[in-house]
Amino acid sequence: MIRVNVLYANKPGATFDIDYYLAKHMPMLRERMGAALKGMTVDHGLSGGQLGIEAAYRVITALMFDSVDAFERAFTPFAGEIQGDIPRFTNITPTVQISDVKI
């Protein structure tokens, strides 16, 4: 099992429309990925490790797939549509990585 981690780092002037993300972007992504998508999490940053400190990331999302190959086969046909939707909810360029699920 792999996770595709998508991280939207906080920075001065960063905007992020969490309502659009949850109501439009993630449902669209779920629909396009179909059965290849085995699970997802969306974390909305509240604070640093202690309250009162600003969160380093506005949003941290993870998408689970059986394998890198399964992710690439599901994502590639819709990459343009999914990435093209990003400016509708944020001006942050996300960091994306593929991770091996250890726990």
Contact between 18 and a second copy per CB under 8 A = yes
* Eight-state DSSP code of residue 38: -
Give the tokens for residue 47.
């604070």
Residues in contact with a second copy, shown as a per-residue x/- string from 58 to 77 under the rule CB under 8 A? --x-x-----x---------
Rounded to a whole number of angstroms, the minimum distance from the CB of residue 32 to a second copy is 16
Residue given tokens 């400016």 in the structure block: 87
Contact predicate 33/63, CB 8 Å: yes
* Eight-state DSSP code of residue 91: S
User: Given the rule CB under 8 A, which residues bind a second copy?
Assistant: 2-5, 7, 18, 22, 26, 40-49, 51, 55-57, 60, 62, 68, 95-103
